[in-house]
Amino acid sequence: MTEIRYVSIDGISYPVVLSDETEALLKAKADGKASVGFWDRNGEGQQDLSGASYLVEDLEDADQKFLEQVVRRHLGLPWKIAETRRLLIREFVEEDADQVPKEAEDGPADEIFYTREKLKDYIRCQYGFYEWGIWALVEKETGQLVGKAGLTPIENEYFDGISMELGYHIFKPYRRKGLAVEACR
């Protein structure tokens, strides 16, 4: 079974190949198309779905929102996480490294955001694998990067499992305007 669906992003239509066939997925990959493998857990034998970047067990899981995220990841376009009255919260892009100021209170973890190369690796590994992390806070009115906020895992002696911490960092020129509260809500 091979099916092609289309996703529109900013007025441009992109094809997404959905298939349980090795050849179709490998061809889509070779053609530079986004693809989703359909994993049939009840099927006979082993499926080779290595040509797919994502897998679904049920085609109903491949809704428009999911397919848009697949295409965005495929094209290197950031996922929009949320939008508030004043902020767009989205994944970082490499170019954001040019706008991240070095501030006195920054720690070693902040160095990831200073160079395009480190930020590119963060984007690929963190967002590509976990699909969450630290996100860019962009002022909608100006398009200016004003800070960052998001989730980081922490150790918790009272909880056996993964604990998450919601954190934020508003850059100095934009502090004391309620942006951190707005982003974290």
Q: What integer pLDDT is reported at residue 45 of this predicted model? A: 58
Q: Please give the structure tokens belonging to residue 185.
A: 């809500």
Q: What integer pLDDT is reported at residue 43 of this predicted model? A: 64
| Strand residue runs (E) in 60-176 | 80-83, 87-90, 134-139, 145-154, 163-170
* pLDDT at 60 exceeding the cut of 80: yes
pLDDT one-digit tens code per residue, 80-92:
999 999 999 999 9
Q: What is the pTM of this model?
A: 0.79
Question: Nearest-5° angle of CA 108, CA 113, CA 115?
Answer: 105
The fraction of the chain above a pLDDT of 90, given in percent, is 64
**Which residue, among 146, 155, 157, has the nearest Cα to 179 in the 3D structure?**
146
* pLDDT at 163 exceeding the cut of 70: yes
In 20-158, alpha helices (H)? 22-30, 64-75, 116-122
Query: Which is more confidently placed, 70 or 160?
Result: 70
- Expressed in angstroms, the distance from the first to the final Cα of the chain is 43
Cβ 145 vs Cβ 136: under 8 Å: yes
Q: Please give the structure tokens belonging to residue 130.
A: 């976990």
Of 14-23, 119-128, 161-170, the range with the lowest mean pLDDT is 161-170
Side-chain-side CA neighbours of 93 within 13 Å: the count stands at 13
